[in-house]
Amino acid sequence: MNAQGAMAKPVRHSRTAMWRRQHAWCLRDSLRQLARRPFGTALTTVVMGLALVLPLAFYLLLVNVQHLATALGDSQSVNVFLKTDLAAGGAEKLAATLRARNDVGTVTVRTPRQGIEELAAMQGFGDAIKSLPDNPLPFVLLIEPRAGTDRAQVEQMVAAVRAMPGVDLVQDNGQWRARLDALIAVGRRVTLLLATLLGAAAVLVIGNTVRLDIRSRTNEIIVQQLIGASAGFVRRPYLYEGAWYGFAAGLVAILLILLLEAVLAVPVRDLVASYTGRLHFGGLSWTTLCIGWAIAIVLGWLGALIASSRHLLQARP
């Protein structure tokens, strides 16, 4: 057993070394083929890079829209404007009635004095407020739905509040957020569809490029098959070629995204400053960019696999 084990080790080591040499040769050969046609290689890389950068740019837009929605408010709060002739006692009574509901978390009563002071503090309203003979603002109830309340329950609560006596206007702040969430969901679907279509286009671009390369080397492939080269060995340089295309195209896409973020940096900074820092915009994380880069390599490899598998079978002697 020891002798057999001692004899098996060199064989296993030899096969591993041969496998490494074959892959190293295929890797170098694929790079040589790309270097022979620099213009065609650059053109294919740029086209594939542009196809990959579009879904990344759309995803960047979606991420920042989500940041915008978070900064402008996540709650489903409801503002209830009472009639101007309703006194403080009536406002407190109505607030107590709302607090007794199972779907209401908190109710805050804001007096007309608090409202007028808030308006006076806002830029451009101070002189106009001072010119008013009396306070025209009503009592306002700020309702926060109970935690865990879904959108349908909030809408039912809003409808019930509108029917209460003394209520003049009900402003549902969660409605715009629900619409924005629906818009973001549509954007995600569009991004996924766009990424799928452009990914398929990238696969076809690489597949066609590799197909042309295989046709130009038909005689070389036939000679390799005549001397006993396996289909995997013949196909391997083209798979590496497709992976190199994907690697370069992914790099181009990342550089274009970084350039886009740099171009938008100044106007975005001005927009954030206008909202006193409440907004937060950012670029794509390096994790997302690396995932996109890996997907580009896989797409290049897949395009080369499809093209090489089909045309190498046709070239078999």
pLDDT in tens, 77-86: 788 999 888 8
Pick from 59-68, 158-167, 196-205: least confident: 59-68
Q: Is residue 14 part of a domain?
A: no
Q: How far apart are CA 55 and CA 265, in angstroms?
A: 20
User: Alpha helices, DSSP H only, in 79-173?
Assistant: 88-99, 112-121, 126-130, 151-162
Share of the chain above pLDDT 90, in %: 15
Q: How far apart are CA 87 and CA 83, in angstroms?
A: 9
Q: Is residue 15 part of a domain?
A: no
Q: How far apart are CA 190 and CA 177, in angstroms?
A: 20
Same-domain check for residues 52 and 105: no
The residue behind tokens 């935690």 is: 147
Same-domain check for residues 126 and 147: yes
Looking at 156, 172, 188, the residue that finishes a domain is 172
Same-domain check for residues 98 and 50: no
Looking at 129, 144, 172, the residue that finishes a domain is 172
Looking at 172, 191, 211, the residue that finishes a domain is 172
Same-domain check for residues 50 and 101: no
Same-domain check for residues 49 and 86: no
Same-domain check for residues 47 and 141: no
Distance set, CA 168 to CA 51, 76, 155, 233, 273 (Å): 54, 20, 17, 79, 36
pLDDT class of 28 with cuts at 50, 70, 90? confident
Q: What is the mean pLDDT of residues 211-236?
A: 77
- The residue range of the domain holding 67 is 34-72+179-314
Our count of domains for the chain comes to 2
Q: Answer whether residue 316 shows pLDDT above 70.
A: no
Same-domain check for residues 224 and 117: no
φ, ψ dihedrals at 217, nearest 5°: -120, 30
Q: What rounded mean pLDDT belongs to the chain? A: 80
pTM, full prediction: 0.65
Q: What share of the chain is helix, strand, coil (3-state, %, to 5)?
A: 75, 10, 20
Same-domain check for residues 189 and 305: yes
Q: How far apart are CA 250 and CA 263, in angstroms?
A: 20
pLDDT in tens, 111-165: 888 877 776 666 555 566 666 667 677 889 988 888 777 777 888 888 899 889 8
Tell me if residue 217 falls in helix, strand or coil: coil
CATH number, position 159: 3.30.70.3040
Q: Is residue 309 part of a domain?
A: yes
- 70: nearest Cα among 215, 282, 222: 282
CB 78 within 8 A of CB 164: no
Same-domain check for residues 131 and 66: no
Q: Answer whether residue 315 shows pLDDT above 60.
A: no
Same-domain check for residues 186 and 232: yes
CB 236 within 8 A of CB 23: yes
The residue behind tokens 């029917």 is: 163
299: exposed, middle or buried (Cβ count in 10 Å: 0-12, 13-18, 19+): buried
Same-domain check for residues 101 and 159: yes
pLDDT class of 16 with cuts at 50, 70, 90? confident
pLDDT class of 300 with cuts at 50, 70, 90? very high
Same-domain check for residues 49 and 135: no
Element (H, E) at 262: helix 231-274
Q: Is residue 23 part of a domain?
A: no
Q: What letter represents residue 61's amino acid?
A: L
Highest mean pLDDT: which of 32-36, 49-53, 222-226?
A: 49-53
